[in-house]
Amino acid sequence: MHVVMRRLLIMYCSLAVLVVTDAYQMVVTTWSAEGFQLATERAWTTLRDSDDRIESLLDGLSECERLQCDGTVGFGGSPDESGETRLDALIFDGPGHKMGAVGSLRRVKSAARVAHAVMKYTKHSFLVGEAATKFAIEMGFKEESLSTNHSRRLFEDWSANKCQPNFRKYLRALCQILAHIVDHISLQNSSNSAQKAPKLVRSLNV
């Protein structure tokens, strides 16, 4: 059977609300992990009760962010090389040919709803970094840390592993040199110096 999708709203964690006809709607997700399934159920409940496609999508995505689906969505996820967790989000609205996105969003947990605010309240398509955070705060979103004990531990383990793995090219040798310097400082100085060693690695941004 050939079916043409009349409306599609889709978001960054592979959750989509599909409307084939006004009487035939569905919510689908790419992943089978429990958090994604719970987020899909949340989106479907909102869609069934309200018939609001965008709000159902946002409810599902917000649930996925709250649950930190698979450890890759929402706060407390993979930290960057400075130890900070940042968020990305993207939403498309098929009928209106509209989209909104944020990238490297800092200190705001509700990335999906900030992306929607970009689509709804601005002529922009994509806000990044501090510009995205500034916009979110101006729109009334709460500013708070995205780090958790888990993300801090991930960063500490990465630092202790000579900054490996990383996404920079040709820096393995440099990371090893820096790690050797840190080890030397740790041996030559007090335990306080040893505790400061990871900061040296971070400040050199490798």
Q: Is 110 inside any structural domain?
A: no
Q: Is 109 inside any structural domain?
A: no
Q: 0.85 exceeded by the pTM?
A: no
Q: What is the pLDDT of residue 10?
A: 45
Q: Name the average pLDDT for the chain.
A: 79
Kindly list the averaged pLDDT for each block of 10 residues, start to end, along the chain of length 206: 38 54 74 86 90 88 89 88 91 86 96 96 96 97 95 90 77 61 59 47 42
Q: Is 57 inside any structural domain?
A: yes
For 126-191, give the DSSP string: EEEHHHHHHHHHHTTPPP-----HHHHHHHHHHHHTTT-S-S-SS-HHHHHHHHHHHHHHHHHS-H
- Chain centre distance of CA 49: 28
CA distances from 92 to 5, 21, 150, 168 (A): 14, 19, 31, 31
CB of 136 closer than 8 Å to CB of 99: no
Q: What is the pLDDT of residue 204?
A: 42
Q: What is the pLDDT of residue 30?
A: 78
Q: What is the pLDDT of residue 35?
A: 85
The DSSP output letter for 70 is G
Neighbouring C-alpha atoms within 13 Å toward the C-beta of 78: 9
Q: What is the pLDDT of residue 171?
A: 62
CA distances from 152 to 77, 133, 202 (A): 10, 21, 13
Domain range for 66: 27-73
Q: Is 56 inside any structural domain?
A: yes
Q: What is the pLDDT of residue 52?
A: 85
Q: What is the pLDDT of residue 116?
A: 96
Q: Is 37 inside any structural domain?
A: yes
Domain count for the chain, please give it: 1
Percent with pLDDT over 90 in the chain: 38
Those residues whose C-beta lies under 8 Å from the C-beta of residue 175, and which sit 6 or more positions away, are 162, 163, 164, 166, 206
For the chain, the distance separating the N- and C-terminal CA atoms, rounded to the nearest angstrom, is 53
Q: Is 158 inside any structural domain?
A: no
Residue 24: helix, strand or coil by DSSP? Answer: strand
In total, the chain counts a number of residues equal to 206
Q: What is the pLDDT of residue 191?
A: 52
Q: What is the pLDDT of residue 17?
A: 59
Q: What is the pLDDT of residue 48?
A: 87
Q: Nearest CA to 132 among 101, 92, 163?
A: 101
Q: Is 33 inside any structural domain?
A: yes
Q: Residue 15: what residue type? A: L
Q: Is 156 inside any structural domain?
A: no
Residue 10: helix, strand or coil by DSSP? Answer: strand
